[in-house]
Chain A
Amino acid sequence: MPERKRRLVTRRLSEMLREVQQKRNTAEDESTLPANGAGNETYHYDKLKQMPLSASLAQNIAVLKRIFVDSPGFNVREFLVAGKIPVAAVFVKGMVDTLLVSANILRPLMHYTRDEPVPQGKGLLEIVQFAGITTVPVRTRDTIGEIVRDVLEGGVVLLLDQESRALSAEVTGFQTRSIEEPVSESVVRGPREGFTESLAHGLSLVQRRLKSPNLAVENHFLGRETHTQVSVLYIKGLVNPEHLAELNRRLKRIGDNIDGVLESSYIEEMIADRPLSPFPQALNTERPDRVVAALLEGRIAILLENTPFALVVPFEFQALMHASEDYYQNYWFATAIRILRYVALTIALIGPAVYVAITTFHQEMLPEVLLFQVVAARQGIPFPAVIEMLLIDYAFELLREAGIRLPRPVGQAVSIVGALVIGQAAIQAGLTSPLAVIVVAVTGIASFVVPVFSMAFTLRLIRFPLTILGGMLGLYGVIAGVLAIVIHMAGLRTLGLPYLGGVTPLHVSDLKDSVVRFPWWAMRGRPHELSKRNRQRQTPDLKPRPESRK
């Protein structure tokens, strides 16, 4: 008896599979896709999105196989629900967790045992969706485009026979880095978590810090080929709707017009208000706490797949001089550190230029004692001060760049050679004065103090033209150069917000979080230009004091 039943089932199965096979062969001929040069067609989501699923399983499989003909890892797993009804699971191996697929999709469906018979066609989808598969997110899909996208993003799509809808289950299983301390923004005090290349991690890191239903997200998919998911995060009621609309407009403009978005800098450059400016026009950060702090001020964060660097827009220049740790340390100390940073900014910008200007043009400005030292040190140097300075500065940049790119053990060798050759030999050979080396060294260290790296790059870049100006026109040239920078910055905007906001247009309450940092109980308002609708950050009377005196 069991032997007979087994034979029956086998026969029935092979019949069905043959049936499917036949249907598929006919389907492939009448497939709706254009058939020019099979295997070489290219496909785009916007076109595929308009293509509906057919009601025939065989035809759908044929279409998908045709689209994915040369794709790496594309798989169609055909099986029978409850041993009777043919279904196909479509996925890309390597993007899905195969254990999850077999445990949550294949097993429950193949072993489906309920009393009521499984219908063929109508009603099957609902049963599979609600009583069959056990993965958490399941969605219904009705176009080829959506299916293609789900499959490429690491989903499993179930195609049913006699049904023009498909089910898409999310079982992504590719490898991601675990959450680590952000390398570019480490802190002594404060959370040590940084974003990773996984957008899902990033969103959860933000959400964990912001348990509010007002946290909202808008998704864009950028890049014709990469189709990178970009999440725009903001807090409803705090964000300025104009900023949000403007950002969405600019992101839509990128849309599918670019072939790929691999890092947030792609977006930063494509949404800049002044595309030719060397200044950073979006704040990048690896720190979820920094993103949340920005959201709370009414700014917008942009997170994207495949990079740990999130963008914050709009922002003011002063944000480039703030580190997240400023808000976690004692406010007196944070203020002192910020003053230190602004001094460092000045040194990093005009240090070499002022040295050149004074030694070349304005020796009379130096006090006598110092003047003698400078003159004595520069005795016998074969170059004018400006060439000397540019040479050492250039050598310093060389060392720095070499140190970044080289593997760590080699990097050490480079720094030893650099220190010995430049620090010692160049001076002993009489090529440069020790003063110039000191100036370059201090300038270099000062530029590391700037907490946002993209700003430090800008500084390094601007320093060279300023040095040349100092060599040509003395202090006047330096001042003219700095004025040009100030003029440029005054004209910059990020998403329409003035770059020098807080200072000009001047809002005194915004200065509480600028060069100084006021204690938290005193920072009552959000930045003025940002949040015109919701200014109040906290209730006014938060300063701690003894209960009796209230």
Chain B
Amino acid sequence: MNYAISIVLATAILFVPSITAQHARQDAWLSLLLAGAFGALVTYIAVRLALRFPGETVVQYTPRVLGPVLGKLVGFIYVYYYLFVAYFVQREFSELINAAYLSRTPMIVIICVLTLLAVYVLYQGLEVLCRVNTVVLWSMIGAIFLIIMLGIKEVRLEAFLPILENGPGPVILGAVTPGSWFGETTVILMLMPFILATDQPRMVKFNLLAVLVLFLVLEMIVVAAVGQFGAAQAATKLFPTLSLARHVDIPALPIFSRQDAVFMAFWVAGMLFKLTTFFYAGTLGLAQWLNLKDYRPLILPLAVVITALSFQAWVDITELKSFSGEVFPFAISFVQFILTGLILGVAVIRGIRPQPGKGGEV
């Protein structure tokens, strides 16, 4: 559960308020409601599929479900999807650090540091990833809560009026991006074999709970951002959550006024674990796709590949932001929702069951 929350939270808190506010204006909080519902649906489908083959990853069972050729192809789409999210995260992350903190440091340095950390985690395996995650996640949520609480007195409720000014259309549009982010819980398709058999039956509950917590946190941020800055400003700010942190002002204690160091600490950690998770899923997936016994030889080459991809894929931050609003959600929703649903549907109709005794190999 911790897992799902932190991987989605990390990127979502960055852009969600501004992207959602672009479309839905003051109704951004309603968009999130929709997005949360969509996320819950995707999560439910993904967990159902994962539980149908509890000992295998999606790359391993698609060839049996969809036939060898199509199955391998779909398997590769999943692998690419995970790596795609990984390099998207890399780029997004370095853009923020570059824009907000280290404007004269070459972006390659920033990406390399983060990627090396991810490589270090991957060499140590999934267990370390989960352990660090538990340490960081709750402090991250705590930090967000602190930032919001410190600025709460400036939230103006008038900013949310009038409700549904332009009808439901913009609200639905605004829900698309956060919805796709909620859907990132589909990474469970790669992780299920490593969850204790005794815990697996509870995964449906856990993952839906994760979506709920996530929803609450994001809703808080959106409300805080729109409430403090107004819909118009929230939409134009590049990183509204960072602005929230910088906006904190306690006249009595000036030393606590600028919270962006705290924000950065937990956000770097969050991004690292999101990158690591998807990088792990992609590397493991590729290893299984190629029928390798161990994924470790692939770590460094893939790290180089995604680092390079993260550079050539987008020209600058404006393109990245419009991409993450207009292309990214549809592309990844296709994998998360349609492909996952398709595999589950075919598996149910053809009545394909897991092969006995076949477990996930690391």
Residues of A within 8 Å of B120, CB to CB, are: 484, 487-488
B128 interface neighbour in A364, A368, A490, Cβ under 8 Å: A490
How far is it, in angstroms, between the C-alpha of A355 and the C-alpha of B253 when the chains are bound? 20
Q: A365 on the interface (CB 8 Å rule)? A: yes
Q: A183 on the interface (CB 8 Å rule)? A: no
Q: B48 on the interface (CB 8 Å rule)? A: no
Chain A 113-170 residues near chain B, CB threshold 8 A: none
How far is it, in angstroms, between the C-alpha of A158 and the C-alpha of B190 when the chains are bound? 72
Q: A340 on the interface (CB 8 Å rule)? A: no
A201 to chain B, nearest CB (A): 40
Residues B258 and A365 in contact, CB atoms below 8 Å apart: yes
The contact string, 1 if C-beta is below 8 Å from chain A, for chain B 274-296, is 00000000000000000000000
The contact string, 1 if C-beta is below 8 Å from chain B, for chain A 497-523, is 010100111100000000000000000
Q: B315 on the interface (CB 8 Å rule)? A: no
Residues A367 and B254 in contact, CB atoms below 8 Å apart: yes
B261 interface neighbour in A475, A503, A505, Cβ under 8 Å: A475
The contact string, 1 if C-beta is below 8 Å from chain A, for chain B 245-286, is 000000000110110110011001100100000000000000
Residues A487 and B269 in contact, CB atoms below 8 Å apart: no
How far is it, in angstroms, between the C-alpha of A367 and the C-alpha of B120 when the chains are bound? 36
Q: B30 on the interface (CB 8 Å rule)? A: no
Chain B 113-128 residues near chain A, CB threshold 8 A: 113-114, 117, 120-121, 124, 127-128
How far is it, in angstroms, between the C-alpha of A362 and the C-alpha of B262 when the chains are bound? 13
Residues A476 and B121 in contact, CB atoms below 8 Å apart: no
A487 interface neighbour in B109, B128, B261, B268, Cβ under 8 Å: B128
Residues A476 and B117 in contact, CB atoms below 8 Å apart: no
A480 interface neighbour in B114, B127, B257, B258, Cβ under 8 Å: B114
Closest to A358 in B: B261
Residues of B within 8 Å of A500, CB to CB, are: 131, 135
The contact string, 1 if C-beta is below 8 Å from chain A, for chain B 99-140, is 001100100011001100100110010011011101110000
Residues of B within 8 Å of A361, CB to CB, are: 101-102
A120 to chain B, nearest CB (A): 70
B110 interface neighbour in A476, A491, A505, Cβ under 8 Å: A476
Residues A369 and B254 in contact, CB atoms below 8 Å apart: yes
Q: With A361-B102, A480-B268, A483-B268 in contact, is A506–B134 under 8 Å at CB? A: yes
How far is it, in angstroms, between the C-alpha of A475 and the C-alpha of B268 when the chains are bound? 10
Q: B97 on the interface (CB 8 Å rule)? A: yes
Residues B97 and A476 in contact, CB atoms below 8 Å apart: yes
Residues A370 and B109 in contact, CB atoms below 8 Å apart: no
Residues A476 and B264 in contact, CB atoms below 8 Å apart: yes
Residues of A within 8 Å of B257, CB to CB, are: 367
Residues of A within 8 Å of B254, CB to CB, are: 367-370
A477 to chain B, nearest CB (A): 7
Q: With A362-B261, A367-B258, A504-B131 in contact, is A491–B105 under 8 Å at CB? A: no
Closest to B118 in A: A487
Residues of B within 8 Å of A484, CB to CB, are: 117, 120
Q: A474 on the interface (CB 8 Å rule)? A: yes
Q: A473 on the interface (CB 8 Å rule)? A: yes
Residues A473 and B255 in contact, CB atoms below 8 Å apart: no
Residues of A within 8 Å of B272, CB to CB, are: 483
Residues A473 and B105 in contact, CB atoms below 8 Å apart: yes
Q: A479 on the interface (CB 8 Å rule)? A: yes
Chain A 358-394 residues near chain B, CB threshold 8 A: 361-362, 364-370
Closest to B272 in A: A483
B209 to chain A, nearest CB (A): 16
Q: A542 on the interface (CB 8 Å rule)? A: no
Residues B264 and A487 in contact, CB atoms below 8 Å apart: no
Residues of B within 8 Å of A445, CB to CB, are: none
Residues of B within 8 Å of A474, CB to CB, are: 101-102, 105
B88 to chain A, nearest CB (A): 19
How far is it, in angstroms, between the C-alpha of A46 and the C-alpha of B114 when the chains are bound? 54
Q: A486 on the interface (CB 8 Å rule)? A: yes
Chain A 468-496 residues near chain B, CB threshold 8 A: 473-477, 479-480, 483-484, 486-488, 490-491
Residues A491 and B113 in contact, CB atoms below 8 Å apart: no
Chain A 205-239 residues near chain B, CB threshold 8 A: none
Number of chain B interface residues as a range: 20 to 34
Closest to B255 in A: A367
A536 to chain B, nearest CB (A): 23
Residues of B within 8 Å of A488, CB to CB, are: 120
Residues A476 and B131 in contact, CB atoms below 8 Å apart: no
Residues B131 and A490 in contact, CB atoms below 8 Å apart: yes
Chain A contact residues, majority secondary structure:
helix
How far is it, in angstroms, between the C-alpha of A456 and the C-alpha of B254 when the chains are bound? 32
Closest to A477 in B: B113
Residues A362 and B101 in contact, CB atoms below 8 Å apart: yes
How far is it, in angstroms, between the C-alpha of A484 and the C-alpha of B116 when the chains are bound? 9
Residues of B within 8 Å of A367, CB to CB, are: 254-255, 257-258
Residues B265 and A479 in contact, CB atoms below 8 Å apart: yes
Residue among B105, B113, B127, B255 with the highest chain A CB neighbour number at 10 A: B113
Residues of B within 8 Å of A498, CB to CB, are: 131
How far is it, in angstroms, between the C-alpha of A473 and the C-alpha of B124 when the chains are bound? 25
How far is it, in angstroms, between the C-alpha of A491 and the C-alpha of B128 when the chains are bound? 5
Residues of A within 8 Å of B258, CB to CB, are: 364-367
B1 to chain A, nearest CB (A): 12
A37 to chain B, nearest CB (A): 53
Chain A 327-380 residues near chain B, CB threshold 8 A: 361-362, 364-370
Residues B101 and A475 in contact, CB atoms below 8 Å apart: yes
B350 to chain A, nearest CB (A): 39
Residues A504 and B264 in contact, CB atoms below 8 Å apart: no
Residues of A within 8 Å of B268, CB to CB, are: 476, 479-480, 483
Residues of A within 8 Å of B136, CB to CB, are: 486
Chain B 131-156 residues near chain A, CB threshold 8 A: 131-132, 134-136
How far is it, in angstroms, between the C-alpha of A420 and the C-alpha of B102 when the chains are bound? 38
A217 to chain B, nearest CB (A): 34
Residues of A within 8 Å of B255, CB to CB, are: 367, 370
Residue among A368, A477, A487 with the highest chain B CB neighbour number at 10 A: A487
Residues B102 and A476 in contact, CB atoms below 8 Å apart: yes
How far is it, in angstroms, between the C-alpha of A285 and the C-alpha of B349 when the chains are bound? 65
Q: With A361-B101, A367-B258, A477-B113 in contact, is A490–B264 under 8 Å at CB? A: no
Residues of A within 8 Å of B105, CB to CB, are: 473-474
Residues A486 and B135 in contact, CB atoms below 8 Å apart: yes
Residues of B within 8 Å of A370, CB to CB, are: 254-255
Q: With A362-B261, A369-B254, A487-B120 in contact, is A480–B131 under 8 Å at CB? A: no
A67 to chain B, nearest CB (A): 51
Chain B 23-79 residues near chain A, CB threshold 8 A: none
Residues of B within 8 Å of A476, CB to CB, are: 97, 101-102, 110, 113, 264, 268
Residues of A within 8 Å of B109, CB to CB, are: 473
Residues A487 and B124 in contact, CB atoms below 8 Å apart: yes
Residues of A within 8 Å of B121, CB to CB, are: 487
Q: With A480-B113, A490-B128 in contact, is A504–B135 under 8 Å at CB? A: yes
How far is it, in angstroms, between the C-alpha of A238 and the C-alpha of B114 when the chains are bound? 43
Residues B128 and A475 in contact, CB atoms below 8 Å apart: no
B92 to chain A, nearest CB (A): 15
How far is it, in angstroms, between the C-alpha of A327 and the C-alpha of B257 when the chains are bound? 38
A365 interface neighbour in B117, B260, B269, Cβ under 8 Å: B260
Residues A480 and B117 in contact, CB atoms below 8 Å apart: yes
How far is it, in angstroms, between the C-alpha of A491 and the C-alpha of B125 when the chains are bound? 9
How far is it, in angstroms, between the C-alpha of A369 and the C-alpha of B135 when the chains are bound? 35
Residues of A within 8 Å of B131, CB to CB, are: 490-491, 498, 500, 504-505
Residues B134 and A473 in contact, CB atoms below 8 Å apart: no
Closest to B134 in A: A504
Residue among A367, A479, A484, A503 with the highest chain B CB neighbour number at 10 A: A479
List 4 additional A-B contacts (Cβ < 8 Å) besides A361-B101, A477-B113, A504-B135. Answer: A367-B257, A479-B269, A490-B135, A498-B131
- Spell out A's residues near B (CB within 8 Å): 361-362, 364-370, 473-477, 479-480, 483-484, 486-488, 490-491, 498, 500, 503-506
Closest 4 A/B residue pairs (Cβ): A367-B254, A490-B131, A504-B134, A504-B131
8 interchain pairs (CB within 8 A)? A364-B258, A367-B258, A476-B110, A480-B268, A484-B120, A487-B132, A490-B132, A491-B124
